[in-house]
Amino acid sequence: MEIGEKLSKLQQDMKVPKDQYNKFGKFYYRNAETILAEFKKYEKDLKVFLTLKDEIVEVVGKVYIKATATLVDCESDEEISVTAYARESEEKKGMDEAQITGSVSSYARKYALNGLFLLDDVKDPDSDEYEKQKNQDKSDQKDGKSTSSNIKINQNHINSLRSLFTENGIDESKVLVLYKVQKIEALTINQYKNAFDHVKELKESCSA
């Protein structure tokens, strides 16, 4: 498998439940550690590994942590990266400066991983809620309502796609023509997944 196919398999097979609970907000959530623990189940068989890198960047006078999650194919050395940003708070009660930076780093890394593995805004695969959502989606499709098939991609998905295009020499403008959209932001989640599943076909179509 090429790296795009391996990433697609990870996106389909990884099950990352929201096993953390926020008592104040009364909601469950997942963290970077949970995502990494799930990834480790697949990296040996797929012959891939993951790296995480943080950078301190300044944007309009505000300090941000820029986290980059990079999936590397051990067989070809090809890479796919996704970045995410989180801003350091000027003050956070009960934390020293090192703790604030560490907390922001974890937050940014989680969203970089979310973008790479398509975990954001997705119901937990092992939960009753997930099964209810799938049944609801089927019902909505029958009724002609909005489903995941027309949910637009976010900035993390865009970054991941553009990394794929760069690594494979794919012309972004030609991809947009193939999917009949005027800008990359108009692509849907299903089209995003399709691009990774059919990277060979895209390369051939865009080089023609």
Q: Which of 160, 146, 169, 166 is nearest to 192 (CA)?
A: 160
Say which amino acid occupies 14. Answer: M
Query: Going by C-beta distance under 8 Å and a sequence separation of 6 or more, which residues neighbour residue 20?
Result: 28, 29, 30, 31, 34
Q: What is the pLDDT of residues 177-187, one digit of tens each?
A: 888 888 999 88
**What's the rounded Cα separation, in Å, for the pair 197 and 201?**
9
154 — pLDDT class (breaks 50, 70, 90): confident
How many H helices and E strands in the chain?
9, 5
14 near 206, Cβ under 8 Å? no
Give the pLDDT of residue 193: 81
pLDDT of 4 higher than 90 = yes
| Distance in angstroms (rounded) separating the CA atoms of residues 106 and 32 | 7
Specify the residue for token string 């922001």: 104
Cβ of 45: how many Cβ atoms within 10 Å?
A: 9
- % residues pLDDT > 90 (the chain): 30
pTM equals: 0.56
Using DSSP's 3-state secondary structure scheme, residue 127 falls into coil
Tell me: the pLDDT tens digits for 34-91?
999 999 999 999 999 999 999 988 877 788 889 999 999 999 999 999 999 887 655 5
